[in-house]
Amino acid sequence: MSEQTTVPVKLGDRSYDILIGAGLIERAGQEIAGRTGAGRVAIVTDENVAALHLQRLADSLKAGGIESTPVLVAPGEKSKGFATLETVTNAILAARLERGDIVIAFGGGVIGDLAGFAASIARRGMGFVQIPTSLLAQVDSSVGGKTGINTAHGKNLVGAFYQPQLVLADTDVLDTLSPREFRAGYAEVAKYGLIDRPDFFAWLETNWQGIFTGGPERTRAIAVSCQSKADVVARDERETGDRALLNLGHTFGHALETATHYDSARLVHGEGVAIGMVLAHQFSVRMNLASADDAARVEAHLRQVGLPVSIGDIPGALPPAEALMEYIAQDKKVTRGALTFILTRGIGRSFIARDVPPSAVLSFLQEKHPK
Amino acid sequence: MSEQTTVPVKLGDRSYDILIGAGLIERAGQEIAGRTGAGRVAIVTDENVAALHLQRLADSLKAGGIESTPVLVAPGEKSKGFATLETVTNAILAARLERGDIVIAFGGGVIGDLAGFAASIARRGMGFVQIPTSLLAQVDSSVGGKTGINTAHGKNLVGAFYQPQLVLADTDVLDTLSPREFRAGYAEVAKYGLIDRPDFFAWLETNWQGIFTGGPERTRAIAVSCQSKADVVARDERETGDRALLNLGHTFGHALETATHYDSARLVHGEGVAIGMVLAHQFSVRMNLASADDAARVEAHLRQVGLPVSIGDIPGALPPAEALMEYIAQDKKVTRGALTFILTRGIGRSFIARDVPPSAVLSFLQEKHPK
Ligand SMILES: NC(=O)c1ccc[n+]([C@@H]2O[C@H](COP(=O)([O-])OP(=O)(O)OC[C@H]3O[C@@H](n4cnc5c(N)ncnc54)[C@H](O)[C@@H]3O)[C@@H](O)[C@H]2O)c1
Ligand SMILES: NC(=O)c1ccc[n+]([C@@H]2O[C@H](COP(=O)([O-])OP(=O)(O)OC[C@H]3O[C@@H](n4cnc5c(N)ncnc54)[C@H](O)[C@@H]3O)[C@@H](O)[C@H]2O)c1
Ligand SMILES: [Zn+2]
Ligand SMILES: [Zn+2]
């Protein structure tokens, strides 16, 4: 039999399990019926995932006695907006689902965020199950209950904290993901090692190939990642403190995403995070917090798996360091002249630094990104 | 000094106070600053309420050291939809409010439902204060945390349970409400007496004029109403049981609102509820549950204050009893051939009846609304 791992997310009466393993789509009907008792579901998915995997999921649900209505949206970040939210929410209502019925998010992080938000507002809260299909969604966005959409004022500025009742991470479904999207998700896997699991990072350095090829290492890496995120979320569900550690690499990363106008041909989120994590380690070296050896190890590993690791790795022209600094300041809001940053004392020793002088960040960026 | 009453709503870590009294708008800045520490707010309001009262509120906030940004929407139920939700949410973000800042709902039930929902989703949950300005909003919609919008699939089908941090019910602000809207709100006041407070209903029969003219009876009636609703909500925040009692008169009422296409020139919500409560009592008499004297008392009192009390009181043509029955069945979903209804054993003795035969309701309606 295929290996399957369960990661429990402990959030009081909102607790739930993440099941991780091969062939879970085929067992989805049985797991959902057994654990939720639902008789009807809406499957929110995007056209890419639908073409590759929807039929198998619908068949599995049917075999479990569950009637399903598919709700398709266009792939890509543009679907995470008010217009699609309205369409999806109306489609859920049109399917005549009741409060106890279930909305399934079947796709990457875009679908998880969008469908989860729709599930939270339709009838003031329907049942919700995540079946994440991208590596990023399996190790990051499907865990923790943040759902939402983007607006003209910024990404993820509108949404709800809404926990699913169950997460099914089918490790086989990742085989159809493009290598580039897989690598982007891998950046978030490595992040958990860099935050506070040095042994996991060391294990990744040795075992990363099994993750990419779909060996048992894949299940293990996803399970450790989910456990890491679940631990942080259990400590700080609504992001008032510790949860900020999950932003390691994201401050620089977001600035680079802004600088490339979220053009996925040039940079996808996980790539920005990879570069951002390398920069965060290098900046920590500059601040005399971490050793240059540790920063070099991070850079070497991420480069080895095929991720970009420096600003120069991004194709096309970029605005100057001063502009990147501007994006960072907008993103983080400078509080009384100081920035809050995730810095590190070495691999697996990240911390929240609340007093980073913007001038130090700027001169670091000027050096890393000379005009 | 003016009389002021506090009704605490006890919902664990979501508990809050409802302050009721004259001149509260003038004290809003002080109360909000003192109780929430907010420095910035957005005031969501409709054009009617803005023209009459916005300046006073903005001045009061300013005097309390709070900077406010007004967000105006068109008056009326049409503003409770996705389009206005998006506009209002974006306006809140454009005002650069942070998570700890506050959205104030300043208006009737439409504004409370809309602004509360926007507050719940902007930045995944902002601070929220209700300053209800219609009697209906003061005694009903501002209490209990239900927020939301309408869709093509039905009223209030999309939204969130989201509790305010404070409710300020200024009894003076009701002086500018049209007599018809005031009476409509009064129907909900009477409802609390009819649900489980027979003494309150008797007190209303004697003291109703003071409520309409703005005597101290007004504050008392609003306080008892808020307390009644708060008690029910504390027992059943998410409407899985008891909270259904608040629907007394609403099953018939909604059918009449549907039959008049929600045309407020013909019938507003509270008028539908008034007729519905009379019908619920008469139907309970028919089912040998209540005495004819009690039903007559209800009818006499609501007629005395100027509310419609029978289907015949609605101007214009109505569809036949069979169609009304159809609306009821759609609204309530007939479960295995039986309807759930709020019926009564007499004044102040309402209960949830789960096994009402649709045929009995139909023949009752045929008699009350002959072709
Ligand atoms: N909620 C959170 O906590 C959280 C955390 C991190 C990221 N996010 C959000 O997640 C989103 C990014 O997620 P993503 O990277 O999964 O993006 P995505 O959902 O756009 O998926 C990336 C691409 O892969 C395709 N795809 C997905 N699964 C596939 C499969 N099995 N086979 C083939 N193609 C497949 C999709 O159609 C899409 O084209 C962003 O909107 C981000 O804001 C949310
Ligand atoms: N959330 C809940 O629990 C709940 C409960 C009951 C009703 N509701 C909702 O409440 C809404 C009805 O509320 P409503 O009756 O207050 O409607 P409303 O908000 O439309 O107000 C009625 C009219 O009175 C005007 N108005 C309000 N205050 C005024 C004042 N002080 N002076 C002059 N004019 C004033 C408004 O501009 C509007 O034209 C419906 O959408 C209903 O679904 C919600
Ligand atoms: Zn990320
Ligand atoms: Zn009502």
Residue A124 annotated among the catalytic residues of the structure: yes
* A160:B160 CB<8 A: yes
More confident residue, A187 or B334: A187
Tell me whether residue B198 is exposed, middle or buried, using C-beta atoms within 10 angstroms of its C-beta: 0 to 12, 13 to 18, 19 or more: middle
Helix axis angle, A216-235 relative to A179-196, nearest 10°?
A: 50
Q: Candidates 3.40.50.150, 3.30.2350.10, 1.20.1090.10, 3.90.1150.10; correct CATH number of A191-368?
A: 1.20.1090.10
| Beta carbons of B134 and B177 less than 8 angstroms apart | yes
pLDDT band (50, 70, 90) for residue A129? very high
The predicted model gives A65-69 an average pLDDT of 97
Phi, psi for A310 (deg, rounded to 5) = -145, 160
For the cut 70, the answer to whether the pLDDT of residue B129 exceeds it is: yes
Residue A142 and residue A230: Cα distance in Å, rounded?
Answer: 10
Pocket of ligand 2 (CB under 6 A): B 46, 48-49, 52, 75-77, 80, 107-111, 113, 133-134, 136-137, 140-141, 144, 146, 155-156, 173-174, 176-177, 181, 269
Picking from A9, A73, A69, A68, the residue whose alpha carbon sits closest to that of residue A47 is: A73
Side-chain-side CA neighbours of residue A46 (13 Å): 20
Residue B273 and residue B309: Cα distance in Å, rounded?
Answer: 9
| Beta carbons of A233 and A329 less than 8 angstroms apart | no
For the cut 50, the answer to whether the pLDDT of residue B8 exceeds it is: yes
Q: Which residue has the tokens 């293990």?
A: A220
Domain ranges of chain B: 4-176, 191-368
Measure the CA dihedral A269/A274/A275/A277, to 10°.
120
* A153:B94 CB<8 A: yes
Q: Where does chain A have alpha helices with state H?
A: 24-36, 47-49, 55-63, 82-94, 109-121, 135-136, 179-196, 198-213, 216-235, 250-259, 269-286, 292-304, 321-332, 358-368
pLDDT number for residue A239: 73
The predicted model gives A131-142 an average pLDDT of 97
Residue B120 and residue B106: Cα distance in Å, rounded?
Answer: 16
Residue A198 and residue B18: Cα distance in Å, rounded?
Answer: 52
pLDDT number for residue A332: 64
For the cut 50, the answer to whether the pLDDT of residue B1 exceeds it is: no
Q: Mark which residues 87-146 of A lie under 8 Å from B by CB.
A: 89-90, 93-94, 117, 120-125, 146
pLDDT number for residue A335: 58
Architecture label for domain A4-176: 3-Layer(aba) Sandwich (3.40)
The predicted model gives B114-138 an average pLDDT of 97
Measure the CA dihedral B220/B224/B225/B231, to 10°.
160
pLDDT band (50, 70, 90) for residue B217? very high
Q: Which residues of A touch B157 (CB under 8 A)?
A: 93, 122-123
Residue B115 and residue B94: Cα distance in Å, rounded?
Answer: 15
Task: Summarize pLDDT for A294-325 with one digit per residue, the tens.
Answer: 999 999 999 999 999 999 999 999 999 999 99
Picking from A279, A275, A15, the residue whose alpha carbon sits closest to that of residue A166 is: A15
Q: What is the ipTM of this complex?
A: 0.92
* A160:B93 CB<8 A: no
Pairing of strands B154-161, B146-151: antiparallel
- Give the list of residues 6+ apart from residue B278 with CB closer than 8 angstroms, or none: B249, B295, B298, B299, B302, B309, B310
For the cut 90, the answer to whether the pLDDT of residue B240 exceeds it is: no
pLDDT band (50, 70, 90) for residue B336? low
Specify the residue with its C-alpha closest to ligand 2, atom 19.
B108
Task: Summarize pLDDT for A269-299 with one digit per residue, the tens.
Answer: 999 999 999 999 999 999 999 999 999 999 9
Share of chain A above pLDDT 90, in %: 87
